[in-house]
Structure 1
Amino acid sequence: METAFESGLRFTEVSDIDQLNELAERWMRYYNATQIHSRHGLTRYQAWNKIKAEQLILPPPAEYCRELAISTPKEAKVSPDLEIRFGGRYYSVKDIRGVLVGQKLLVAKNPWETDGARVATYDADGNEIWQAVPQIEFDEMGFRADAAVIGAEYKGRIDTVAQQHAKELDKLAMGADTLEEAAAKRKGKAVPFNGEIDPYKHQEDTLAARNTLYLPKQGTQMEYNRMEVAEQVLSKVEMAKLLKPRIEAAGGDWKQAVRMLQTAYPQGIEASRLDEAFDKLMNAGRLKIHRTGSL
C-alpha cells in the first residue's frame, strides 16, 4: 500500500475523500488480480475463489449487529432439564462443564449466530470463557424436535456433576467397580465400606473423654386414670359346662362332682381358678377315677 499506491499520490491531485477511496479501491482490485502470493503461488482473487460455502461464514444482519452493540448479558436459572430461557427462547446447557440444577448462568447473545446465545464459563485459572449453547427447537405441536419417539427410541438425560459424583461415591462405599455391582451388593444387604466405619465411634470417644457419670434424678409420679379390670367370674352353670367334659374324659363320676361343686363354690369361681377347682375334686378323693390302661 505504501510503496505501490501511496507513492503515486504525489503525481495526482486528490480533491476529496471520495476520490481517494475510489483510487484505493481500483488499486486493491488491480493488486489482488495480478500480484502472485509467495505462499500458494496464486493471485489473491484466485485463492479466494477456492473457498467453499461452508467455509465462508457470513456476518449477522446489520440490525442484529446493532442489537449486540446495545445488549447486555443477563442471568438465567438452570432448570431440572438442564435448560435455560433467554430472550424468549430455550437453550440447552447440558454440555457446560460443571453446570448444576438451579445455578444462575450469565447469558449473552451470540454475535456469530442469529438468535444464538453464549454462556460465561471459567477455566482453571478463573479466566472468563464464553461458550455457545444450542437453541432448543420445537415442532408445531410444542414438542421438542430432538425428543425421543415413544416406542421407538430412548434418550436419557446427561448426568450433572453432582449426579456423577454421587454415583462415584456409591461405588466407593460398596467397594464396586460398576454401578450394577454396587446395586447388587446393596440388594444383598452388604455393609458399606465393608463394615470398617463405626458410625457411633464419635459417641464413644466423647463419653470417654468426658468421663462423667450421671445419677438418676428423683421425680414426681404423674397422676393418671387407672382402669380397674375385673376378672370374669364363672357361675355354677358355666363351671359345669366347662368341667363336665374334662371329668368324664378322665373317667370320673359327674353326679358326685356336681354335688361337690355346689357345696364348695356356691357363688361360682374366677375363670383363672377353673383348673384349681378341677384339681381339688381329684385331690379330695371324691372323684372316682377309672383307670383302664396306661395314661
Structure 2
Amino acid sequence: MDTATLDYLRTIAKRLNDAAHGEKTPIVEQSASFLNCSTKQIYQLLRDADLMPPRKTRTDKGDSIITRAQAELIGGMILVATRANGKQILAVTDAAEMLKAQGKIPDVAVSTILRALKAYHCHPSQLATPTAHVTQRSLHPNHVWQIDASVCVLFYLPKGGLAVMEQKEFYKNKPANVKKIEKERVIRYVVTDHYSAATYVEYVMGAESSENLTQVFLNSIQRRAANDPMHGVPSILVMDKGSANLSGLFLNLLDRLGIEHIEHAAGNSRAKGQVEKHNDIVECKFESRLSFLNVGTLAELNAYCQRWRSHFNANAIHSRTRKTRNAVWLTITNEQLRLAPSLEVCRELVTTKPKTMQVRGDLSVTHTIKGYPNQAYDLTHLPDIYPKAVVDIVVNPYRAPDIDVAWLDNIYTISPIETDEAGFAIHSPVIGVQMITKPESSADSNRKAMLKAAYGVDTEADVDKARKKKQAAYVGAIDAMADVDNSHNEGNVPSIITKAAITVDTSAHVASREIKPLTHVEAAMQLRGLISDLWHAEHFSDLQAQYPQGVPHSAITEIADRIIVGKPINYLKAVNE
C-alpha cells in the first residue's frame, strides 16, 4: 500500500470515528467511488492498515430482558430439584418452559436465559460451588484430636473369615446384600492428631456403637510400642454428631478425663477434614493391600494395620510440615503431654459420676476406687468446710487414688490420709503429747457470736456462766409470751362452759383411798389456769373460808363452773366437817 493511499485512509478513518449515527455509510460510499472499489474493499483496506475504528458500545450493554427476580426463580427451581448427592435432575430448558407457560418469564431463547443466569450468578454451576471455609490451626501435639468411623472393605464370613466386599455385590442398588452382612461388617476407626497429623487406626466388628468408640479411644490414648509414639490425653476431641459419639457414657468419659468435646454441624464434614482425608489414605494405602493377603481374624487385620501405621507415621512426609508425622508429634513438651490413666481406671471412668457425700465430724470423707482399698481423705484445708457439709467427689484420673472434691464452685485435688500400722492417721496428735484443734468454721463463729448476743456478754466463759445459772436469754429484747398475750387480748381464747357429764363410779371396782387435798395456793393456780381473768382475789378468801383444811381435787371443776356463771363458791360444805 502506497503512502498516498495510506494517508487517504487515515483521513477516512478519522471521519468515520467522528461521524454520528447514520453518517458512516455515505462516507464509505464516497471513498469507494474515489478509489474505484467496493465498500467492502474500503473496510478491508482499513483493517489491513489497522485503521478500522472500534465499534461503539451499545447503549443497552449489560441489560437483559430477564430480570434478577426471574433469574433467581429459575435458579431456585433447579436448586430445590437437585439431589443431596449433587445430581441436577431439572434442566434449565425444562424450568424455562414451565415458567413461560405461566407467563412468569418472557419467551426468549435458552441461550439468553443462560447468559442472564450467569450474569446474575444464578447458574447451576455457580450455585454448586462450595461455601468458602476458614482453615483453623492447633497449638501443639495433643491439643486437638479428631476421630471418625467408616466401613472397611472387608466383612466377616462365619465360616470363611474376613473377605473383601465386591463392588458389584454390595452397593446401594442391592440393599438386600448389604443388609445381609450388616452385623458382620468391619468398621474402621481413625484418630488423628491435628497438629502433627499422626494417625491411629483400629478395626472393630459390628457397627458404630458407644462400646466400640470407647474401646478404640481408650486404646489410642494408651502408651504403646516404642515405634508408635503417639499417645496421651488430648485437650480437645472433634467428632461428628453420630449417636455413638453423643452417648452419655462416652461423653461422661471425656468429662472425667478433662477433654473438651466439639461436635461439628451436620453436613459439615470439612470441620474434621484431616481425619476424613486419613480415612481415604488408610483405604487407599493400606486396605488396597488386603486383596493380596489372607486375613482370617480381626486380630490379624489389626496386627497388619499396626505394622503399616507405624511405617506410615515414621516415613510419610506431610505436605504441610515437610516432615514425618512422628517427627512433628515428638516436639510435644512435658507440660503438653497428659499421660492417660491405666485401662482399668479409664474403664471405671466411663460410668463414674461425681458422688455426693456428707463430711464427717473430723472433716474427712471416705471413698473406694477400683483397684485401691477404701481410704479416708482430709478436707480440713478446704475454705469454710464444716461437719455434715455436702460435697461432690470423683476419682482424679491422672493421680489415682487422689480424688477431686467440688466445693464452693471450685475443684480441690485431695490425697488419701497416710496411716500407721494401727490405722491411725500419721498427722493426728498423740495423746498426752500435743493438742490440736480443727480450724473454726463459719458455723462455729456464728454460733459463738449468737450465744454472746443472746446473754449480753463478751466472752464464751460468761456464756457458760449464764447458762449454768439458767439465766434467761435476750432479756429485755424478746417477749417470749408476746404472741400468747396478743391472742388473749384480741379475744382469740374464748371462755368455754364445761358440758354436764356423768361421773364414773369406781367404788365397786377400786378400793377406797384417801387423796391429800390441794392447798389453797395449788387450788388457786389450777382455777386461774381454767378461768383466766375471771379469777379475783376475793375468790381466794372464799376458798379459805369454804375449805379450811384444803380443797378436794374433785371440787376444782365445780368451783370453776360456778365462778364462770357468777355463782358463789361457799355453797359447798367443807370437807371432813
**Under a length normalisation based on structure 1, what TM-score does the superposition of the two structures give?**
0.50
1:117 to 403, 410, 428: 403
Larger CA deviation: 169-178 vs 182-191? 182-191
Residue 107 of structure 1 corresponds to 393
> Cα distance, 1:27 vs. partner?
8.5
Larger CA deviation: 19-28 vs 69-78? 19-28
Q: Which amino acid aligns with 1:151?
A: G
Distance 1:142 1:57 in 2: 39
Distance 2:424 2:336 in 1: 31
Tell me, yes or no, if the aligned pair for 2:314 and 2:325 is still in contact at 8 Å: no
Residue 314 of structure 2 corresponds to 18
SS in 2 for 1:183: helix
Distance 1:68 1:58 in 2: 22
Change (3 A) 1:212 1:149: closer
CA deviation digits over 1:165-184, x for unaligned, max 9?
Answer: 32222122122333223223
Residue 364 of structure 2 corresponds to 83
Change (3 A) 1:228 1:141: closer
Distance 1:228 1:178 in 2: 55
> Cα distance, 1:24 vs. partner?
7.4
Distance 2:327 2:415 in 1: 43
Change (3 A) 1:67 1:77: farther
Matches within 5 A, 1:50-69: 62-63=341-342, 66=346
Matched, 1:168 2:449: yes
Residue 477 of structure 2 corresponds to 196
Distance 2:326 2:339 in 1: 24
SS in 1 for 2:475: helix
Tell me, yes or no, if the aligned pair for 1:60 and 1:114 is still in contact at 8 Å: no
Change (3 A) 1:95 1:154: same
Q: Which amino acid aligns with 1:18?
A: A
Distance 1:26 1:215 in 2: 99
1:95 to 348, 360, 381: 381
Q: Percent identity?
A: 19
Distance 1:82 1:199 in 2: 37
> Cα distance, 1:68 vs. partner?
7.6
SS in 2 for 1:143: coil
Q: Which amino acid aligns with 1:122?
A: L
Residue 425 of structure 2 corresponds to 144
Distance 1:28 1:82 in 2: 45
SS in 2 for 1:210: coil
Distance 1:96 1:228 in 2: 69
Distance 2:388 2:470 in 1: 34
Matches within 5 A, 1:238-277: none
SS in 2 for 1:194: coil
Q: Which amino acid aligns with 1:119?
A: V
Distance 2:495 2:433 in 1: 68
Residue 505 of structure 2 corresponds to 223
**Under a length normalisation based on structure 2, what TM-score does the superposition of the two structures give?**
0.28
Residue 37 of structure 1 corresponds to none
CA deviation digits over 1:6-52, x for unaligned, max 9?
Answer: xxxxxxxxx954233865777999xx9xxxxxxxxxxxx9xx9xxxx
Larger CA deviation: 158-167 vs 142-151? 158-167
Matched, 1:183 2:457: no
Change (3 A) 1:222 1:196: farther
Change (3 A) 1:228 1:62: closer
> Cα distance, 1:144 vs. partner?
1.3
Distance 2:337 2:452 in 1: 50
Change (3 A) 1:204 1:227: same
> Cα distance, 1:203 vs. partner?
0.5
Distance 1:212 1:138 in 2: 65
Q: Which runs of 5+ in 2 are unaligned?
A: 1-136, 138-310, 369-373, 516-577
Distance 1:138 1:186 in 2: 41
Q: Which runs of 5+ in 1 are unaligned?
A: 2-14, 33-44, 49-55, 124-128, 230-295
Distance 1:78 1:195 in 2: 39
Change (3 A) 1:69 1:142: closer
Change (3 A) 1:62 1:216: closer
Q: Which amino acid aligns with 1:169?
A: M
Distance 1:194 1:68 in 2: 60
SS in 2 for 1:204: helix
Distance 1:99 1:86 in 2: 18
Change (3 A) 1:100 1:57: farther
Q: Which amino acid aligns with 2:503?
A: Q
Tell me, yes or no, if the aligned pair for 2:314 and 2:327 is still in contact at 8 Å: no
How many residues are treated as equivalent by the alignment?
189
Distance 2:447 2:438 in 1: 16
Change (3 A) 1:72 1:213: closer
CA deviation digits over 1:76-118, x for unaligned, max 9?
Answer: 3322322211122111223344545445432112245331111
SS in 2 for 1:193: coil
Tell me, yes or no, if the aligned pair for 1:68 and 1:109 is still in contact at 8 Å: no
CA deviation digits over 1:126-180, x for unaligned, max 9?
Answer: xxx2222342111111111111111100122345544443222212212233322
